[in-house]
Amino acid sequence: DDKAWCKKQSIFSDLAPVTVLPPTLDPILELGLLSTKCHHFIMSVGSYGWWASFLAGGDVVYYKDPYKNRKDQVAAMEDMYPPGWVAMLGSSDDPIAL
């Protein structure tokens, strides 16, 4: 979400093509571009990343237990992620499972 930072990072200069969308782009158009031009995602926690990942239809890695310590969790986490998406464990005690 920090486009200016992304433009300054040398790690992205060796990749082609890398596009940073203008900051004034409508969020709906940005979601559409993201989900049609990107094919694989390492997803953040939230509905925006979920929808972009779902609409793109490619490989998705997601954080397995984003609400592990919440007492008010009402949804079953296994119902939130389609089959084929890869769960990444987040605890420092757990290895990343890919």
16: tokens are 């082609």
- Residues 25, 34 contacting (CB under 8 angstroms): no
pLDDT, residue 98, reads: 42
* Spatial CA neighbour of 98 closest among 88, 70, 78: 88
Model pTM score: 0.63
* Spatial CA neighbour of 29 closest among 21, 18, 19: 21
Element holding 47 (H helix, E strand): helix 47-56
47: tokens are 């509905």
Q: How far apart are CA 21 and CA 4, in angstroms?
A: 10
pLDDT tens figures, 42-78: 887 788 888 888 988 888 988 877 666 666 666 677 7
pLDDT tens figures, 9-40: 777 666 666 667 777 778 888 888 888 888 88
User: Residue 93 pLDDT > 60, yes or no?
Assistant: no
